[in-house]
């Protein structure tokens, strides 16, 4: 029952939010309490994983593989906590940042809708159900990205919509192919069948289609162009929330599918993942280096950082996977915090353009400090979580003697530092230019509170890594040997 709570809470809160849609205060408090409740449930699930580290629930008590299964293991429980932590910060921030028209236009309802999809995707153990959760998430994001219907938003959302729909359709096609070959939709059952029977050749096509579909969703190398075209257009509070959830869930599914299905053909998949990961890192960071808009630089960085997560999947050792999961969590916090601080700069200066910005450090030193911590984390300076994430990945890379990808990751890391320093120099230290022409909006305190929360989470993640690493390693261990996952879902299975 507890496994359904993360999905039920946002669903119920959507109904309540629609019921009190004319009272903004009520909506704001309701969404904050809803995410706090989700946070509580996420921690409850995490601490109740038990001996085997798996929590399984069958919807409607239909036994697996006939019904829809919900499974939590360390990976999904950790990400559940991370998503709910980040959404606490994001919702408080958007109360302060987003204009009243958008807030009344259903912003909070859509946030909860998006969260429903995210939690569902993290917990489900059935591939068709995963498609449904993905659609819940993606449709909420369609409306969020067009909310307010400014000209730029509409233009950007066409690209966003088309790419995401193509991704979804490839996903469904892959499900159809896989079902026609194996006759089951339960992830654990598929994984078991792949391990116990001869693999029909079409299964490989299905897995390739899955890779492309989630590659589009996660914005990896050849499919990333929709992200920088669409992410910078909505209010930055929404972008921050997108950056923390949408692409990361795509990476999570890749992690899960690699562990359950693609792992069987490492000889083929490992080089593919490494090439894609390396190119994703390099392209993302180079495009960030050539941009002069805070939102665009940070959006390109999302792509570059996805490359690191993919690298962890490709390495597929305990440290590598722990690093990948740690990197996802770190990115959720650090990226959201940088977006939020960038939004505060916009509120005070009226622009995101680095050429027009200047002297934030002189006029708002605390804001500069709030930006500095997550920016250093993205670049990977100790003791921020970015350093530890990269350290685990590079350690695993050297350990596994994958020299090329590790060296690419190191170089990209320096370039990341370069573009963070660029924002710092241009926005914080440069003398101010023509600020008189820019319209300055009023800053509500909730925007500050949200940013501070996100920065504190970033710092805490870095400082507590000594205590939390064991959990990440355990998550990695579970992914490497999915037999326990299969046994937890299908307890009656006779393992030969």
Partner 1 sequence: MNILIALLIGFLYAVSVYLLLRRSIVKLVIGILFLSYATNLMLFFAGGLTETSPAFVVASEAQNVVMTSDSLPQALILTALVIGFGVAAFSMVLIYRFYKETGTVDLDDLSDIEKL
Contact residues toward partner 1 (CB under 8 A) are: 128, 131-132, 135, 139, 142-143, 146, 149, 151-152, 154-159, 161-162, 165-166, 169, 172-173, 175-177, 179-180, 183, 185, 229, 232-233, 293, 295-296
Min dist CB 355 to partner 1, Å, is 13
Min dist CB 66 to partner 1, Å, is 10
Min dist CB 141 to partner 1, Å, is 11
CB nearer to partner 1: pick between 131 and 485: 131
CB nearer to partner 1: pick between 185 and 303: 185
Min dist CB 176 to partner 1, Å, is 4
User: What is the spatial distance between Cα 317 and Cα 477, in angstroms, rounded to a whole number?
Assistant: 8
With CA atoms as reference, report the closest residue to 100 among 211, 268, 200, 235.
235
Do residues 360 and 367 lie in contact, with contact meaning Cβ atoms separated by under 8 Å? Answer: yes
CB nearer to partner 1: pick between 133 and 448: 133
CB nearer to partner 1: pick between 138 and 412: 138
CB nearer to partner 1: pick between 265 and 293: 293
Angle, helix 294-315 to helix 236-260, in steps of 10 degrees: 10
Burial (CB count <10 Å: 0-12, 13-18, 19+), residue 67:
middle
CB nearer to partner 1: pick between 281 and 297: 297
Q: Positive or negative, the Cα torsion across 85, 441, 243, 124?
A: positive
3 state SS of 69: strand
Q: What are phi and psi of 434, to 5 degrees?
A: 35, 45
| DSSP letter for each residue of 278-344 | HHHHHHHHHHHHT--BHHHHHHHHHHHHHHHHHHHHHH-SHHHHHHHHHHHHHHHHHHHHHHHHHHH
Min dist CB 291 to partner 1, Å, is 9
Min dist CB 393 to partner 1, Å, is 32
CB nearer to partner 1: pick between 96 and 167: 167
CA 354 to chain CA mean position, Å? 26
> Looking at the chain, how many residues does it have?
496
- Residue identified by tokens 């353009």 is 353
Min dist CB 436 to partner 1, Å, is 23
User: What is the spatial distance between Cα 208 and Cα 401, in angstroms, rounded to a whole number?
Assistant: 26
With CA atoms as reference, report the closest residue to 88 among 241, 271, 265, 293.
241
CB nearer to partner 1: pick between 139 and 456: 139
Q: HSE on the CB side for 223, CA within 13 Å?
A: 22
- Residue identified by tokens 């070959």 is 181
Cis peptide before 233 (omega within 30 of 0): no
Backbone conformation region of residue 357, classed left if phi is above 0, alpha if psi is from -120 to 50, else beta: beta
Instruction: Tokens for 41, please give them.
Output: 């449930």
CB nearer to partner 1: pick between 183 and 383: 183
3 state SS of 186: strand
User: What is the spatial distance between Cα 153 and Cα 343, in angstroms, rounded to a whole number?
Assistant: 17
User: What is the spatial distance between Cα 338 and Cα 9, in angstroms, rounded to a whole number?
Assistant: 28
Min dist CB 352 to partner 1, Å, is 9
Min dist CB 101 to partner 1, Å, is 16
CB nearer to partner 1: pick between 146 and 331: 146
Residue ranges of E strands in 53-146: 55-58, 69-72
CB nearer to partner 1: pick between 146 and 458: 146
Min dist CB 172 to partner 1, Å, is 5
CB nearer to partner 1: pick between 176 and 365: 176
Do residues 83 and 328 lie in contact, with contact meaning Cβ atoms separated by under 8 Å? Answer: no
Min dist CB 161 to partner 1, Å, is 6
Min dist CB 211 to partner 1, Å, is 17
Do residues 67 and 60 lie in contact, with contact meaning Cβ atoms separated by under 8 Å? Answer: yes
């Amino acid at each position: 029952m507890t496994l359904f709570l993360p999905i039920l809470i946002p669903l119920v809160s959507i109904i309540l939010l629609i019921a009190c849609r004319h009272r903004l205060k009520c909506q704001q408090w309701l969404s904050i309490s809803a995410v706090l409740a989700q946070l509580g449930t996420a921690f409850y699930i995490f601490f109740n994983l038990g001996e085997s580290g798996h929590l399984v629930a069958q919807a409607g008590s239909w036994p697996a593989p006939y019904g829809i299964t919900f499974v939590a293991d360390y990976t999904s429980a950790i990400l559940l906590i991370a998503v709910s932590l980040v959404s606490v910060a994001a919702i408080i921030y958007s109360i302060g940042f987003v204009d009243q028209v958008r807030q009344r236009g259903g912003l909070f309802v859509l946030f909860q809708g998006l969260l429903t999809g995210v939690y569902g995707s993290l917990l489900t153990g059935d591939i068709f159900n995963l498609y449904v959760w993905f659609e819940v998430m993606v449709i909420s994001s369609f409306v969020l990205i067009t909310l307010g219907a400014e000209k730029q938003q509409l233009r950007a959302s066409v690209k966003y919509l088309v790419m995401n729909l193509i991704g979804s359709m490839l996903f469904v096609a892959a499900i159809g192919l896989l079902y026609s070959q194996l006759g089951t939709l339960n992830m654990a059952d598929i994984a078991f069948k792949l391990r116990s029977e001869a693999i029909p050749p079409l299964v490989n096509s299905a897995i390739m289609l899955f890779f492309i579909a989630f590659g589009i969703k996660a914005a990896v190398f050849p499919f990333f162009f929709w992200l920088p075209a669409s992410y910078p257009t909505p209010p930055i509070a929404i972008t921050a929330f997108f950056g923390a959830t949408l692409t990361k869930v795509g990476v999570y599914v890749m992690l899960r599918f690699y562990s359950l299905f693609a792992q069987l053909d490492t000889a083929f998949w490992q080089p593919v993942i490494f090439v894609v990961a390396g190119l994703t890192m390099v392209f993302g960071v180079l495009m960030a280096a050539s941009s002069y808009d805070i939102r665009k630089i940070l959006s390109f960085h999302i792509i570059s950082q996805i490359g690191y997560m993919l690298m962890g999947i490709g390495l597929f050792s305990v440290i590598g996977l722990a690093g990948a999961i740690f990197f996802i969590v770190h990115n959720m916090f650090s990226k959201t915090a940088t977006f939020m601080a960038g939004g505060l700069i916009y509120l005070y200066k009226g622009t995101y353009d680095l050429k027009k910005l200047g002297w934030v450090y002189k006029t708002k030193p605390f804001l500069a400090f709030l930006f500095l911590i997550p920016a250093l984390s993205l670049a990977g300076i100790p003791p921020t979580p970015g350093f530890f994430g990269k350290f685990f990945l590079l350690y695993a890379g050297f350990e596994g003697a994958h020299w090329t990808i590790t060296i690419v990751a190191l170089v990209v890391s320096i370039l990341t530092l370069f573009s963070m320093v660029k924002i710092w120099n241009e926005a914080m230290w440069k003398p101010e230019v023509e600020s008189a022409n820019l319209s300055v909006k009023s800053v509500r305190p909730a925007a500050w509170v949200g940013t501070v929360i996100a920065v504190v989470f970033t710092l805490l993640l870095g400082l507590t890594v000594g205590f939390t690493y064991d959990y990440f390693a355990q998550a990695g261990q579970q992914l490497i040997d999915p037999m326990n996952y299969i046994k937890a879902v299908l307890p009656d299975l006779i393992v030969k």
